[in-house]
Amino acid sequence: MGSETGMIGRTAADRVNAAPLVCWFEECRKESTPLVGGKCSSLGELINAGVRVPPGFALTTEGYRRFMTQGANDRVVRSLLAGLDARDPDALAKASTQIRAAIEAQPFSLELEDLIAECYRRLGVRCCVPALPVAVRSSATAEDMPGASFAGQQDTYLWIRGVDDVLAHVRRCISSLYTERAIAYRAERGFGDAEVAMSVGVQKMANSFTAGVMFTIHPANGDRSVIVIDSNFGFGESVVSGEVTPDHFVVNKITLDIIDRTISQKQVCYTVDPVTQKSCAMEVPFERQRVQSLIDDEITQLAWMGKQIEKHYGCPMDIEWAVDKDLPSGGNIFILQARPETVWSSRRQSAVSGSAGTAMDYILSGMLAGKKVG
């Protein structure tokens, strides 16, 4: 499929020199950020490293530029941002609203529309699911750059079905490059709009029983000897957005033993409404609110996957994951996103092995007690 799909998105003239307008995740590597942004290049890197990742494709930055130069999009953006005082909330809100409305109202060219629709059709064939539910995720070229944290500033849409909805949400992702927050952040950091381009990933949706985030470093104290996992029922949106206090697990990175666990009362989760077939927030039944959302075997498997990803990238990682309830145990944990951890990794690494409560303390205490470690 690789050689065939590599030609998708190229006219006869394009095939000589120009970048493709769309490409599959497996055609991307971590060096592909200028073409497909931070999220999509990371997903391609993970797939090629043998990590279990839901398949998908990306509208490339070349496709984004092609869309933005058609119609009046480029002119609208330039005219509304020219002389804009990003410290003026009212002016910022007005400019953002007008830019986003113009982008979302602009249809794709027939060429781009056909390419996106064909890739979505092929993705459904690969997954053997008609009208395949997908996540539509923005992937900006400046995401996860050292010294700048653009991650999370653009939008993600979950459980999108049908080509018309996919096309509409790709445009919404593109328009999210011009939210008030994103415009102000770029202005504050001195990033010109020409320095930040957008790619949009369309990825098979994991029908999550449980999802969340995982750090291969302790996000509270920088301890590199542990892996920290936060989880809740349903999609990971409730954990990422902070809407719930998730279950919290600390795992020894060497032995993969669970050395600390906190089971929270999880009142809300995101899942699919069976009537509307849309992702929405739902109340967790009272009898499940204090049930552990991940079984211990899944925690161990997740931690092992986190170790492999950290080893591949050579640095602590911030990872989003999901457990797909439609697949059998042992092959149902998927990595949805992975990026270098940016808070502690930028600091000088300090020795944590002598501090109280670390994984090394756990190993030493086990050895002194005559406990087998490993």
User: CB-side exposure of 272: number of CA atoms within 13 Å?
Assistant: 16
Which of 222, 356, 234, 348 lies closest to 284 in space, CA to CA? 234
Residue with tokens 């609203």: 97
Amino acid at the residue 249: F
- List CB contacts of 55: < 8 A, sequence separation 6 or more: 24, 25, 26, 47, 123, 126, 127, 203, 204
- For residues 58 and 23, the answer to whether their CB atoms sit within 8 Å is yes
Give the pLDDT of residue 352: 47
DSSP state letters, 85-113: -TT-HHHHHHHHHHHHHHHHHSPPPHHHH
Give the pLDDT of residue 58: 98
From first to last of the 374 residues of the chain, give the pLDDT tens digit. Answer: 444 444 455 444 444 357 899 999 999 999 999 999 999 999 999 999 999 999 999 999 999 999 999 878 888 998 999 889 988 999 999 999 999 999 999 999 999 999 999 999 999 999 999 999 999 999 988 654 444 454 445 688 999 999 999 999 999 999 999 999 989 988 888 877 767 789 999 999 999 999 999 999 999 999 999 999 999 999 999 999 999 999 999 999 999 999 999 999 999 999 999 889 899 999 999 999 999 999 999 999 999 999 999 999 999 999 999 999 999 988 999 999 999 998 876 665 544 444 445 666 656 565 555 555 44
Strand order through the sheet with 208-215: 258-262, 247-252, 226-233, 208-215, 317-324, 333-340
Cα-based angle 364, 366, 372 (whole degrees, multiple of 5): 120
* Distance of alpha carbon 144 from alpha carbon 148, whole angstroms: 7
Give the pLDDT of residue 13: 43
Beta bridge partners of 156: 137
* Distance of alpha carbon 132 from alpha carbon 193, whole angstroms: 34
Which of 194, 158, 200 lies closest to 175 in space, CA to CA? 200
Beta bridge partners of 268: 283
Entry pTM? 0.85
- Specify the DSSP element, H or E, that contains 363: helix 359-368
Give the pLDDT of residue 71: 79
* Distance of alpha carbon 296 from alpha carbon 314, whole angstroms: 26
Domains and CATH numbers, the chain: 2-204 (3.30.1490.20), 208-368 (3.30.470.20)
Give the pLDDT of residue 316: 95
* Distance of alpha carbon 21 from alpha carbon 264, whole angstroms: 45
DSSP state letters, 1-66: -HHHHTTTT--TTHHHHSPPSEEEGGG--GGGHHHHHHHHHHHHHHHHTT-----EEEE-HHHHHH
